[in-house]
Amino acid sequence: MKSLPLKYRIPLAIVVVAAVYAFQHWQHAHKADKPAHANIAAQPAPKRKLGALAFEPCILGQSEPQKKSLQAQCTTFQVAENPAQPNGRKLDLGLAWLPPTDDGDSADDPVFFIAGGPGQSAIESYPALDPAFAEIRKKRSVILLDQRGTGKSNLLNCHFPDSDDESDAARAAFLQSLTNCRDELAKKADLRFYTTTDALRDLDAVRQAIGADKIDLVGVSYGTRVAQQYAMRQPQHVRSVILDSVVPNTLILGNIFARNLDDALALQFGQCDKDAACRRTLGQPREELSKLLATLKANPPQVSYRDATSGELRSKALQAGDVAGLVRMFAYMPTVATVLPALIHDANQGHYEALTALTAMLHDNLQDAMAMGMQFSVVCSEDGDQIANSAQDKDTVLGDSLTEVMAAACKVWPKGEMPADFHQPLSTRVPTLVLEGQFDPVTPPRYGEDVVKSLPNGRLFVLRGQGHNVIGAGCMPRLAARFIDGADAKSLDGKCLDALQAPSPFVNFNGWSP
Rounded Cα–Cα distance for residues 92 and 85 (Å): 16
Rounded Cα–Cα distance for residues 287 and 273 (Å): 11
CB burial readout 228-259, b (16+ within 10 A) else e: bbbbbebeebbbbbbbbbbbbbebebbbbbbe
Domains in the chain with CATH codes: 53-154+195-248+423-491 (3.40.50.1820)
Predicted pLDDT of residue 214: 98
Rounded Cα–Cα distance for residues 240 and 217 (Å): 6
Q: What is the pLDDT along the chain (514 residues), one digit of tens a residue?
A: 334 454 455 556 544 443 433 344 334 433 333 344 444 444 556 789 999 999 999 999 854 444 467 999 999 999 999 999 999 999 999 999 999 999 878 899 999 999 999 999 999 999 999 999 999 999 999 999 999 999 999 999 987 765 555 667 877 888 899 999 999 999 999 999 999 999 999 999 999 999 999 999 999 999 999 999 999 999 999 999 999 999 999 998 876 788 999 999 999 999 998 999 999 999 999 999 999 999 999 999 999 999 877 889 999 999 998 999 899 999 999 999 999 999 999 999 999 999 999 988 877 666 667 899 999 999 999 998 888 877 777 788 888 777 888 888 899 999 999 999 999 999 999 999 999 999 999 999 999 999 999 999 999 999 999 999 999 999 999 999 999 999 999 999 999 999 999 998 888 776 655 5
Query: Whole-model pTM?
Result: 0.90
Query: 272-275: long-range contacts (C-beta < 8 A, 24 or more apart)?
Result: 272/341, 272/505, 275/504, 275/505, 275/507, 275/513
Cα separations (Å) of 377 from 123, 383, 503?
20, 10, 37
Predicted pLDDT of residue 92: 98
Rounded Cα–Cα distance for residues 164 and 359 (Å): 11
Whether residue 511 contacts residue 477, with contact meaning beta carbons closer than 8 Å, is answered with no
Vertex 249: Cα angle to 110 and 129 (nearest 5): 40
HEC string of 226-240?
Answer: HHHHHHHHCHHHEEE
Rounded Cα–Cα distance for residues 114 and 220 (Å): 7
Predicted pLDDT of residue 44: 59
Q: Which of 63, 64, 62, 60 is nearest to 22 (CA)?
A: 64
Phi and psi at 166, nearest 5°, equal -105, 15
Rounded Cα–Cα distance for residues 386 and 384 (Å): 5
H or E segment at 254?
none
Q: Check whether the bond before 441 is cis (ω within 30° of 0).
A: no
Whether residue 513 contacts residue 505, with contact meaning beta carbons closer than 8 Å, is answered with yes
What is the C-alpha R_g of the chain?
Answer: 22
Burial class of 31 by CB neighbour count within 10 A (0 to 12, 13 to 18, 19+): exposed
